């Protein structure tokens, strides 16, 4: 039994097949990079995994249990957390309160949710921002807050959608550090990221897709030299 398995998943939006027969398995503790040109279906795959959209067909298994068809809150409760590409903090709330919202998935005690949230803020380097209004955070800190909110739900599998997009080189390095710390904490990760340095540096394996289909899966080294991957990216650059 794999820790996580996606089996022949398909998603149609009207006449558009956004995800076309994607399959992969993951072992616990692994980082899988998911790459592909804009519009190739990466975020949709996350939305299928966390139950935000129903599958058109296919199956998804987490720790041996079939999870497709379950609502997002149940999937989150089972241990799959995610961040969103478009960061949406609850802006009129403090950073701490934002993270406590995630922590309430595991406890109804305010004291425990607060303690958990403070731990996670420390882990993400946001402790000193805990009382700030979330709307006043910089982009880099908003991305950290997204990760902190997801971590507060205590995921075993974490889906990270472009958490380094829009960051400067120093902030990008810090984002990589946080992701590696999450891995060291034993959390399995699927990461969508456009910055090649990030994805190549931290992924154990990479799944490359184009127009919703797998074009290659393998180690970063295998992927970077793969002719179909090069073609998909050059195709985008010259489009």
Q: Which is nearer to ligand ADP, 72 or 125 (CB)?
A: 72
Select the residue interacting with ligand ADP from 32, 33, 41, 229 (CB under 6 A): 41
Binding mask 43-82 vs ligand ADP (x if CB under 6 A, - otherwise)? xx--------------------------------------
φ and ψ at 42, to 5 degrees? Answer: -65, -50
Beta-carbon-side half-sphere exposure of residue 187 (alpha carbons within 13 Å): 26
Binding status of residue 33 toward ligand ADP by CB under 6 A: no
Does 43 engage in binding with Mg ion (CB under 5 A)? yes
Structure tokens at 110: 């305010």
Distance CA 176, CA 202 (A): 8
Interaction of residue 100 with ligand ADP, rule CB under 6 A:
no
Give the Cα separation of 133 and 168 in Å (integer): 23
CA distance linking residue 76 with residue 66, whole number of Å: 14
Helix ranges restricted to H, 10-138: 42-49, 72-78, 95-103, 110-123
88's contact among Mg ion, ligand ADP, none, with CB below 5 to 8 A by partner kind, is none
Binding piece for ligand ADP, criterion CB under 6 A, among 41-49, 61-69, 95-103, 196-204: 41-49
**Residue 39 binds to ligand ADP (criterion: CB under 6 A):** yes
Which residues here bind Mg ion, judged by CB under 5 A?
A: 42-43, 85
């Amino acid at each position: 039994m794999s820790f996580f398995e996606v089996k022949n998943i398909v998603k149609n939006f009207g006449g558009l097949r956004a995800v076309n027969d994607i399959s992969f398995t993951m072992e616990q503790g692994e980082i899988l990079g998911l790459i592909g040109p804009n519009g190739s279906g990466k975020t949709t795959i996350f939305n299928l995994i966390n139950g935000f959209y129903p599958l058109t067909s296919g199956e998804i298994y987490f720790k041996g249990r079939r999870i497709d068809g379950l609502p997002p809150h149940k999937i989150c409760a089972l241990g799959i957390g995610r961040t969103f590409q478009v960061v949406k903090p609850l802006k009129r709330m403090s950073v701490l309160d934002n993270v406590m919202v995630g922590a309430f998935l595991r406890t109804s005690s305010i004291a425990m949710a607060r303690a958990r949230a403070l731990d996670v803020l420390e882990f993400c380097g946001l402790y000193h921002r805990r009382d700030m209004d979330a709307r006043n955070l910089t982009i880099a800190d908003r991305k950290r807050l997204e990760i902190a909110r997801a971590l507060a739900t205590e995921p075993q599998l974490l889906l990270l959608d472009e958490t380094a997009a829009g960051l400067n080189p120093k902030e990008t390095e810090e984002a990589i550090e946080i992701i590696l710390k999450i891995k060291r904490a034993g959390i399995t990760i699927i990461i969508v990221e456009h910055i090649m340095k990030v994805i190549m540096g931290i992924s154990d394996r990479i799944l490359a897709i184009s127009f919703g289909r797998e074009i290659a899966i393998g180690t970063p080294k295998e992927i970077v030299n793969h002719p179909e991957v090069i073609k998909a990216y050059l195709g985008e650059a010259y489009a």
